[in-house]
Amino acid sequence: MNLTGRFAPSPTGPLHFGSLVAALGSYTQARSAGARWLVRIDDIDPPREARGAQDAILNTLEHFGFEWDALYRQSDRTERYVAALQTLEREQLLYGCTCTRRRIAATVRRSEAGFVYPGTCRGTAPAPDTAHRVIIGAEAVQFTDRVRGLQRYGLAEATGDFVVRRRDGLFAYHLACAVDDADGIGEVVRGADLLAGTAQQIYLQRLLGLSTPAYAHLPVALGEVGQKLSKQTGATPLRDNEPLPQLMAAWAFLGQTALPDRPADPRAFWRDAVLRWDLNAVPTGDRRAPAGP
Which residues in this chain contact ligand GLU in the complex, by CB under 6 A? 8-10, 42, 177, 190, 194
Distance between CA atoms of residues 248 and 179, nearest Å: 33
> Mapping DSSP to helix (H, G, I), strand (E, B) and coil, where does residue 61 land?
helix
Distance between CA atoms of residues 216 and 181, nearest Å: 13
Q: How far is the CB of 262 from ligand GLU (least distance, A)?
A: 30
With CB under 5 to 8 Å by kind, the binding choice for 121 among ligand GLU, Zn ion, none is Zn ion
- The answer to the question of residue 121 lying near Zn ion (CB under 5 A) is yes
Q: How far is the CB of 95 from Zn ion (least distance, A)?
A: 8
- The answer to the question of residue 164 lying near Zn ion (CB under 5 A) is no
- The answer to the question of residue 135 lying near Zn ion (CB under 5 A) is no
Distance between CA atoms of residues 50 and 262, nearest Å: 36
Distance between CA atoms of residues 218 and 254, nearest Å: 8
Nearest partner of 160 among 140, 135, 142, 184, judged by Cα: 135
Q: How far is the CB of 200 from ligand GLU (least distance, A)?
A: 11
Phi and psi dihedrals of 221, rounded to 5? -85, 120
> Toward ligand GLU, which CB reaches closer, 18 or 263?
18
Residue-wise DSSP of 211-233: ---EEEEEPPEE-TTSPBP-TTT
Q: How far is the CB of 8 from ligand GLU (least distance, A)?
A: 4
Distance between CA atoms of residues 146 and 188, nearest Å: 10
Beta-strand pair 114-116/109-111: antiparallel
- The answer to the question of residue 140 lying near Zn ion (CB under 5 A) is no
Selected range binding Zn ion among 93-101, 158-166, 201-209, 282-290, rule: CB under 5 A: 93-101
Q: How far is the CB of 233 from ligand GLU (least distance, A)?
A: 13
CB 24 within 8 A of CB 254: yes
> Toward ligand GLU, which CB reaches closer, 26 or 130?
26
Selected range binding Zn ion among 1-9, 120-128, 188-196, 254-262, rule: CB under 5 A: 120-128
> Toward ligand GLU, which CB reaches closer, 76 or 91?
76
Rounded (10°) CA dihedral 182, 188, 194, 197: 20
With CB under 5 to 8 Å by kind, the binding choice for 194 among Zn ion, ligand GLU, none is ligand GLU
- The answer to the question of residue 97 lying near Zn ion (CB under 5 A) is yes
With CB under 5 to 8 Å by kind, the binding choice for 167 among ligand GLU, Zn ion, none is none
Footprint on this chain of Zn ion (rule: CB under 5 A): 97, 99, 120-121
